[in-house]
Structure 1
Amino acid sequence: MTKNRFIAVSPESTDYLTTAELAQYLSVSRSTVHRLLRKHNIRVMQLGKRMRVPTAEAERLEAELYRELS
């Protein structure tokens, strides 16, 4: 039996999310996450080539996207 490589992600579970975790949380692709981060001026932490998004910023992005769709 193969293990599922995806896990359920909630912004409350950790202080920072990877772009892959944020993509899964928002149900979009990683390239869409990168575009959204630029468009909405989301603060990120750069660790070498790796990018982490604070959960507070992820929640702010989710709220902004919800407002845009309303």
Structure 2
Amino acid sequence: MKFSKLFPIATSDANDFIEDIVAKGSLKLIEPETLPHLDEAQLLYLGPYGFVVITKQPKEGQWEVTIET
């Protein structure tokens, strides 16, 4: 499953959204050093139902946050 949402760059809304998803999903961050093939914009989490990749990158003057399971 893949989901994307856009946020204004000048606000902290994208980070707040990511923090909310991590908290509600009981996700645990996997240290990026253990998976060097990931893009630096990607964070890998382990949740109750498997891995979750969260990507935050600029797109057309906004932050695009993508959540992929």
Tell me whether the two structures share a fold, i.e. TM-score over 0.5: no
TM-score (normalised: structure 2): 0.30
